Amino acid sequence: MLPERVAYARELCARWVKEGHTPTLAVCVARRGVIVLHEAFGVLGPGPGSPPLGRDALFPVMSLAKPITATLVMQLVEDGLLGLNRPAKDYLPELCGDGTDDILVQHLLTHTSGYPFDPGPRFLAHEAKKREAGFVAPPCPAGQYPFTHERLSLFWDAPRVAAVGEVMVYSNHNYTLLGEIVRRLAGRPLEEQTWQRIFDPLGMRDSYYVVPESESPRVVQRASGVPFGPDNPFLRDIGSREFQEIPFAASGVFTTPLDMAIFGQMFLNRGRDDARPDPGPRRALVSQGCRPRVLGLRLVDRVPNQVEVLRR
């Protein structure tokens, strides 16, 4: 990539923050395994005393959790523990309601199960009706988070708006169900499975479904009046400690731009962990038997023009 274009991108990011388009911006740009831009601009949170944003700041990346959860699902498929064309009820027998017998695991992955947008009016009305009727969740099983357990218990009979496979309707509920399938088949909490099978093998040291309390000060905070901020009426403040402690399979990952670049590079490498930033043997995380097609991201050295290169 041309150094002048990289410099222009850096200047543009700095200008957006300076002009007030956004108070916080972090970027990691790579091409063919070479990081050409890795910078942070602005502040960590609102208020006059907020520290400057660091490159290691943790962003709540919301629905970018879905491809990570989907990777866990595909690993279980390759392990022979899960079938994409098996009914979801084979793994979640609590599912009930018209048409749920026809929902396959693949329909959850592709948002073609027929469930409506979540959170949305139909889900909110369904929850309100059940709570008015005196809903009480059954005892929470070991290894499950109480909040996730309550949500699952509320929506085993969730409303549906289309027949299975008829149309794609984006719904967090699909991935909440997939996260529960992963938890049950793996025999351990979602965050532990992710660390063992994805984050640790790839060297994604700054990625979490549950943020340790010691790392909480690195989490980017939002101001009041912006989407998903502290005054959001429908969803918890995504920077709050409460949100940091709940492993939402659909939207609960906290990570850095560099770690997300490593995760994306793994797929460019046909599922191999060549993107891991430490030396050692490489292996396939998904798509067993595939060979890497491009270079992977590794630990990098700084050079005078600020372009980062692979350490061979």
Contact in structure between 2 and 306 (CB atoms under 8 Å): no
Q: How far is CA 227 from CA 174, 176, 221, 269, 292, in A?
A: 22, 21, 12, 35, 39
Angle between helices 121-132 and 146-155 (to 10 degrees): 90
Which class for 82: exposed (0-12), middle (13-18), buried (19 or more C-beta within 10 A)?
buried
Mean per-residue pLDDT for 141-162? 93
Separation of alpha carbons 267 and 286, rounded Å: 9
Question: What is the structure's pLDDT at 119?
Answer: 81
Model confidence at 286, pLDDT cuts 50, 70, 90, reads: low
Per-residue pLDDT tens over the stretch 98-151: 899 999 999 999 999 999 998 889 999 999 999 999 999 999 988 889 999 999
Which of 29-38, 259-268, 287-296 has the least mean pLDDT?
Answer: 287-296
- Residue 197 corresponds to which tokens in the numbers above? 């099978």
Residue 60: how many CA atoms within 13 Å on its side-chain side? 29
Mean per-residue pLDDT for 47-70? 94
Model confidence at 300, pLDDT cuts 50, 70, 90, reads: very low
Instruction: Indicate the average pLDDT of the chain.
Output: 86
Q: First vs last Cα of the chain: how many Å apart?
A: 20
| Whether residue 283 has pLDDT greater than 60 | no
The CATH architecture of the domain made up of 66-190 is: 3-Layer(aba) Sandwich (3.40)
Question: What is the structure's pLDDT at 277?
Answer: 57
Mean per-residue pLDDT for 185-192? 95
Q: How far is CA 60 from CA 173, 184, 222, 260, in A?
A: 19, 25, 10, 12
Domain boundaries, the chain: 3-57+256-310, 66-190
Contact in structure between 223 and 46 (CB atoms under 8 Å): yes
β-partners of residue 52 are 43
Contact in structure between 211 and 244 (CB atoms under 8 Å): yes
Separation of alpha carbons 280 and 228, rounded Å: 40
Question: What is the structure's pLDDT at 274?
Answer: 64
Question: What is the structure's pLDDT at 2?
Answer: 84
| Whether residue 278 has pLDDT greater than 80 | no
Of these ranges, 85-94, 143-152, 225-234, 303-312, the one predicted with the greatest mean pLDDT is 85-94
Under DSSP, is residue 272 helix (H, G, I), strand (E, B) or coil? strand
Question: What is the structure's pLDDT at 271?
Answer: 78
In the chain, alpha helices (H): 3-18, 65-78, 105-109, 121-132, 146-155, 172-186, 190-194, 200-202, 241-244, 257-268
β-partners of residue 124 are none
